[in-house]
C-alpha cells in the first residue's frame, strides 16, 4: 500500500468517526438503559442460583480454607483434570475448502494464515481456558468480535476473548448464542460485567459525549456478578476479597464495574443489534455501538454433555460433587475410627484408684471413673466397650462412589495414570481404552461444532475488516527454508465463503494410518498394470505419510508437461485459447486441466486433448515414440526396494 493512500484512508476514517460521535448523545438512545435493566433482572433471577452453586464448587475444587483437622477429597479435581487433559491433548485442526472452481488457492492461503494466527492469537492458552470453563461450568462462551489492524506494520489479526461464565448472563429462553440459521433458540440479549479503567472507557467504540467521570461509582450494586465471582475465587484461594471502595485513591488506575450488554433495540423505527456499556448499576449509558453489518452475534459457545433444547449442559462437578462430599465424609469417619482405636477410653474402679493423677502418665488416653460397688474390675482398669464401625461397609461405599464417578465421566483408573486395583489381561485393558476413546470422541465431535463456528467467524472478521489496499505478510515454511509472501484481500476472501472441516488429531491419526496401510496394499496390485498412473499413486501415498505439498514437489519434481499444463491453465481461466501440441503427454495435461475454471476455452481445450488420445490409438505413426515408464516394485511396506537400501517403516 502506498504511503499517500494510507494517509488519505486514515484521514477519512477519522472524519467519519468524528461525524458519528457528534450524532451520539444519551438522548438518542432514550429508554435503552431501562430495557437493559429489565433484561438483566430477568436473566439474573433465572441464573443466580446456578452462579451461587458454581461459586461453591470453585471452593470445593481447590479449597484452601477447609478445616485443618479434616481431610478433603479430590474426586472433582481428579476427574475434571482427566477429562480436561484428554480434550485439550486431542487438538482440533481446521481445513478450508473452496466452494467454487478456482478457490483452491484461496483455501490453501487460509490454511496457512490460520496456522500462523493460531500462535499469534495465543490459541493454545485460549483453548485451555475455553475447555476448562466448558468442562467445569457445563457451558463455555468465547467472543470473537475484535480485529486488530495496523496497515503500517502489515499486522491484521482477530482477537478472541474467553468469557468468564461466572459473570455472564443470557436470555433465559435461549439454548445457544446464535441458535440455528433462522436464529431459533438464539439469544435476544446477553452480557457480562467487566472491570474497566478510565483509559479503557475512553477507547470504547461508540462512546457517548456526555460522560462525567465524577458521577461514576467505583463499586457495584447488590446484583453484581463480578463481585460475587471475585469473592468466590479469592475465598477458594484463601485471599482477601478486593474492596472497590478503595479504588478512588488509585487515580487513573481506579477501576469501574461496567456492564457490557448485547441486545436488540429500535433506532429510528428500525430494530438493530447494539452493544452497550453501562455504569452505576446499569443506570448510566457510557457507549452504544450499533452493529449495522452483523446478522449474528460474534460469539461462539460450546457444551460438554449437552442436553437437547437446553442452555446448560452437564458438567463434571454435576457428576462428581455429591461423590466428593460423601467420600470426604467416609474418609473423615474412617480417620476418627482409627484415632479411636489408637487412643481408646478406659474405665477404672474409683474404690481402688483414689488418685486419678496416677493414670495421666499415659498421654492422649481418656479415663472414666466409675463406682464398681465391690464388683471385680480386672486390674482396676479396663477398656471401655463401645460400638465398632463396619470398616468393610465403609470401604465399599467409598469405592463404589469412586466407581460411580468414573463410569459417569469415562475416567477409569488407567485413564488417570494409575494402576487398576484389579489385574486385567492386556486384551481387556485395550478394550477398555477403546471404549474410553469412543466416549471422549463424542465430546470432541461436539467441540468440533463450536470450533467450526470459531473459524467461520475468524474468516468473517477478515472479510469484514480487510480492505483492498491491505497486505498481510505470511511466512511459509518449505523444504528450502522459510519464504515470505504478501497476501491481499483477493488472495484471502473468495466470492463464496469456503467450507470448513474440523478434524480431531486422534481420529485423524488413526484414519491416516488406516488409509496408508490400505493404499500401500492397493498400490502393490495397481502397479502390476502398465497403464497405471504410478506417479500419482506415489504422490498420493506421500500425502498419507504427512508430507507437505512443497516436500512432495521436491521429491517428485514437476515434469515438463505438468509445468506446461499449469501455464495453460492461466490462459484457460481467463477464457483464452491455449494450443494443443502433438508431442504433449495428453493424460498429464487432462489431469492438470481438471483444476481450471469452467470456461468455453477450457472445455474446448480438454475436448481437444481427448480427441488427440483417440487419434493416437488409430494413427500411432503420427505421434513420437514414447518411453516406457519405470515400474516401481513395492514390497509389503509399500516402498520401492533398491539394492543396498532397506525399506522404511510405514508408520
Summarize the confidence of residues 332-339 as an average pLDDT: 77
Instruction: For 14-40, write each residue's pLDDT tens digit.
Output: 555 555 544 555 567 888 999 999 999
CA-nearest of 467, 532, 520, 526 to 493 is 467
Q: Is 478 helix (H, G, I), strand (E, B) or coil?
A: strand
Q: Is the pLDDT of residue 13 over 70?
A: no
pTM of the model: 0.73
Q: Is the pLDDT of residue 420 over 80?
A: no
Which among 51-60, 236-245, 401-410 has the top mean pLDDT? 51-60
Q: Which residue has the higher pLDDT, 391 or 233?
A: 233
- Residue 382: pLDDT band (50, 70, 90) is low
- Residue 1: pLDDT band (50, 70, 90) is very low
- Give the Cβ contact number of residue 167 at 10 Å: 22
Cα–Cα distance for residue pair 444/301, rounded to 1 Å? 14
- Residue for cell digits 519464504? 483
As given in the structure block, the three cell numbers for residue 177 are 448464542
- Residue 278: pLDDT band (50, 70, 90) is very high
β-partners of residue 157 are: 148
Instruction: For 610-633, write each residue's pLDDT tens digit.
Output: 888 888 887 777 766 554 444 455
Q: Is the pLDDT of residue 105 over 90?
A: no
If you average pLDDT over every residue of the chain, what do you get?
79
Q: Which of 158-167, 312-321, 332-341, 367-376 has the lowest mean pLDDT?
A: 367-376
Cα–Cα distance for residue pair 515/64, rounded to 1 Å? 51
Output the pLDDT for position 103: 76
Q: Say if residues 270 and 258 touch (Cβ distance below 8 Å).
A: no
Output the pLDDT for position 526: 87
Terminal C-alpha separation, the chain? 47
- Residue 337: pLDDT band (50, 70, 90) is confident
Q: Which of 357-361, 395-399, 435-439, 496-500 has the lowest mean pLDDT?
A: 435-439
Amino acid at each position: 500500500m502506498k504511503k499517500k493512500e494510507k494517509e488519505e484512508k486514515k484521514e477519512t476514517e477519522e472524519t467519519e468517526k468524528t461525524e458519528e460521535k457528534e450524532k451520539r448523545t444519551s438522548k438518542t438512545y432514550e429508554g435503552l438503559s431501562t430495557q437493559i435493566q429489565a433484561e438483566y433482572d430477568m436473566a439474573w433471577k433465572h441464573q443466580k442460583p446456578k452462579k451461587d452453586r458454581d461459586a461453591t464448587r470453585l471452593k470445593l475444587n481447590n479449597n484452601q480454607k477447609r478445616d485443618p483437622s479434616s481431610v478433603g477429597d479430590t474426586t472433582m479435581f481428579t476427574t475434571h483434570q482427566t477429562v480436561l487433559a484428554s480434550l485439550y491433548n486431542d487438538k482440533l485442526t481446521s481445513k478450508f475448502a473452496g466452494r467454487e472452481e478456482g478457490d483452491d488457492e484461496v483455501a490453501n492461503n487460509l490454511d496457512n494464515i490460520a496456522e500462523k494466527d493460531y500462535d499469534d492469537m495465543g490459541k493454545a492458552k485460549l483453548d485451555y481456558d475455553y475447555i476448562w470453563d466448558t468442562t467445569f461450568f457445563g457451558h463455555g462462551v468465547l467472543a470473537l468480535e475484535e480485529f486488530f489492524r495496523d496497515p503500517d506494520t502489515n499486522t491484521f489479526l482477530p482477537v478472541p476473548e474467553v468469557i468468564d461464565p461466572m459473570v455472564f448472563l443470557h436470555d433465559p429462553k435461549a439454548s445457544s448464542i446464535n441458535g440455528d440459521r433462522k436464529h431459533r433458540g438464539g439469544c435476544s440479549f446477553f452480557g457480562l460485567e467487566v472491570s474497566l479503567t478510565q483509559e479503557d472507557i475512553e477507547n470504547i467504540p461508540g462512546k457517548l459525549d456526555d460522560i462525567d467521570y465524577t458521577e461514576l461509582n467505583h463499586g457495584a450494586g447488590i446484583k453484581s456478578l463480578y463481585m460475587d465471582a471475585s469473592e468466590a475465587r479469592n475465598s477458594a484461594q484463601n485471599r482477601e476479597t478486593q474492596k472497590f471502595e478503595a479504588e478512588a485513591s488509585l487515580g487513573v488506575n481506579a477501576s469501574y464495574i461496567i456492564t457490557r450488554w448485547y441486545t436488540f433495540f429500535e433506532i429510528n423505527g428500525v430494530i438493530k443489534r447494539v452493544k452497550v456499556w453501562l455504569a452505576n448499576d446499569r443506570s448510566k449509558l457510557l457507549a452504544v455501538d450499533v452493529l449495522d453489518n452483523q446478522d449474528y452475534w460474534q460469539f461462539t459457545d460450546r457444551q460438554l454433555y449437552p442436553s437437547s433444547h437446553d442452555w446448560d449442559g452437564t458438567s463434571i462437578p454435576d457428576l462428581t460433587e455429591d461423590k466428593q462430599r460423601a467420600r470426604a465424609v467416609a474418609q473423615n469417619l474412617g480417620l476418627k475410627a482409627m484415632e479411636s482405636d489408637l487412643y481408646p477410653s478406659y474405665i477404672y474402679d474409683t474404690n481402688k484408684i483414689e488418685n486419678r493423677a496416677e493414670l495421666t502418665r499415659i498421654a492422649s488416653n481418656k479415663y472414666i471413673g466409675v463406682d464398681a460397688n465391690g464388683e471385680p474390675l480386672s486390674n482396676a482398669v479396663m477398656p471401655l466397650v463401645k460400638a465398632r464401625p463396619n470398616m468393610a461397609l465403609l470401604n465399599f461405599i467409598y469405592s463404589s462412589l469412586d466407581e460411580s464417578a468414573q463410569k459417569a465421566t469415562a475416567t477409569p483408573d488407567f485413564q488417570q495414570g494409575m494402576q487398576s486395583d484389579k489385574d486385567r489381561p492386556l486384551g481387556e485393558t485395550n478394550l477398555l481404552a477403546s471404549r474410553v476413546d469412543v466416549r471422549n470422541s463424542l465430546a470432541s465431535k461436539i467441540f468440533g461444532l463450536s470450533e467450526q463456528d470459531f473459524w467461520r467467524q475468524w474468516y468473517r472478521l477478515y472479510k469484514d475488516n480487510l480492505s483492498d489496499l491491505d497486505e498481510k505478510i505470511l511466512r511459509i515454511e518449505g523444504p528450502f527454508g522459510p519464504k515470505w509472501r504478501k497476501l491481499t484481500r483477493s488472495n484471502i476472501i473468495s466470492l463464496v465463503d469456503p467450507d470448513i472441516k474440523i478434524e480431531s488429531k486422534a481420529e485423524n491419526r488413526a484414519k491416516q494410518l488406516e488409509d496408508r496401510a490400505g493404499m500401500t496394499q492397493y498400490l502393490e496390485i495397481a502397479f502390476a498394470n502398465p497403464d497405471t498412473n504410478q506417479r500419482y499413486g506415489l504422490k498420493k501415498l506421500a500425502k498419507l505419510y504427512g508430507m507437505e505439498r512443497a516436500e512432495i514437489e521436491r521429491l517428485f519434481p514437476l515434469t515438463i508437461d505438468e509445468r506446461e499444463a499449469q501455464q495453460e491453465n492461466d490462459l484457460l481461466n481467463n477464457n483464452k485459447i491455449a494450443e494443443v501440441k502433438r508431442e504433449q503427454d495428453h493424460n498429464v495435461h487432462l489431469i492438470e486441466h481438471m483444476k481450471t475454471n469452467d470456461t468455453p476455452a477450457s472445455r474446448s481445450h480438454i475436448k481437444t486433448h481427448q480427441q488427440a488420445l483417440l487419434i493416437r490409438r488409430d494413427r500411432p505413426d503420427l505421434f513420437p515414440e514414447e518411453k516406457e515408464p519405470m515400474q516401481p516394485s513395492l514390497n509389503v511396506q509399500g516402498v520401492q526396494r533398491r539394492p543396498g537400501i532397506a525399506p522404511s517403516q510405514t508408520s
